[in-house]
Amino acid sequence: MKAVELSKVDFTYDDGVQALRDVSIDIDAGERVALVGPNGAGKSTLLHIMSSLYAPTSGTVRIDGEEITKRTMEKARFKVGFLFQDPDDQIFMPRVWDDVAFGPMNMKLDPQEVERRVRESMELAAITGYEDRAPHHLSFGEKKRVAIAGILAMRSPILLMDEPTANLDPQGRRDLVNVLTSLCDKTMVIATHDMSVALELTDRVIVLKRSVLYDGSFRGLVERPDILSEARLELPSIPRLMERWMERTGRTGPLPLTIDEALAMLEEGCRQR
């Protein structure tokens, strides 16, 4: 079952800027995909299209097999949770609790279920105790957590996240990665500059620069320096370190991507000395 299907999508803004050209992407239900690319590549635009906030200039979008039209748009929006790049675009209630509860209330759930979901998602986003705070007084990272709690409370099967870890402190980034890892039944598309997050959270990477430059495994992308450089991407430090080490020691084989893979190669190296 496909959760998201984009076919030959073009998107041009009113001022004539073409943000997307001929983008076709299929995402299976339960799949986790990283969307990477330089500033201005069209990542945010693409997520707006997937969430049916923008209609493509041409091409089609299907969510759960159903083509998005004016008629099906409302239904599709309930299936998709969208974390905006800027939490100020997302948060608008005067109290944190009301903001997190807004989505579930809109779904007309009974008050006990709303209460349960709000508590649970606030705990997951590590903002328990913030119930009565005013969102506009919070720091950027705290606002981001409120926005994340709001999305989690909706329990949408498809999550679109626009740079979810940007501006979070290291522990906040780690907490978010753990929360997203625990949501194992969701379809996720995560736009990010953080290649470590992409590697840790997803099985598939799409490199976008107005069009799709690459769509495949992280491991496959590592072997495409042309694409990495065209999209101004930098590998996480572990593979960069190991690349240098392998060059220096004349070692061959697949480049270690994770700490565990790197340790295994280094230990093997020590044993052979």
Ligand X SMILES: Nc1ncnc2c1ncn2[C@@H]1O[C@H](COP(=O)(O)OP(=O)(O)O)[C@@H](O)[C@H]1O
Site residues for Mg ion per CB under 5 A: 43-44, 85
Instruction: Identify which of residues 10 and 98 has a Cβ nearer to ligand X in the complex.
Output: 10
State the minimum distance, in angstroms, from the CB of residue 85 to ligand X.
7
| Best CA proximity match to 61, nearest among 47, 74, 77, 50 | 50
State the minimum distance, in angstroms, from the CB of residue 63 to ligand X.
19
Instruction: Identify which of residues 44 and 187 has a Cβ nearer to Mg ion in the complex.
Output: 44
- Which of ligand X, Mg ion, none interacts with 42 (beta carbon under 5 to 8 A by kind)? ligand X
Instruction: Identify which of residues 17 and 263 has a Cβ nearer to ligand X in the complex.
Output: 17
State the minimum distance, in angstroms, from the CB of residue 166 to ligand X.
11
Q: Which residues contact 203 (CB under 8 A, 6 or more apart)?
A: 31, 32, 33, 217, 218
Alpha helices in 20-72 (DSSP H): 43-50
- Which of ligand X, Mg ion, none interacts with 17 (beta carbon under 5 to 8 A by kind)? ligand X
C-alpha dist (Å) from residue 3 to 56, 114, 209, 272: 18, 26, 23, 48
Q: Side-chain half-sphere of 7: how many Cα atoms within 13 Å?
A: 10
State the minimum distance, in angstroms, from the CB of residue 61 to ligand X.
16
Binding interface with ligand X (CB under 6 A): 13, 15, 17, 19, 37, 39-45
How far apart are the C-alpha atoms of 156 and 154, rounded to whole Å?
5
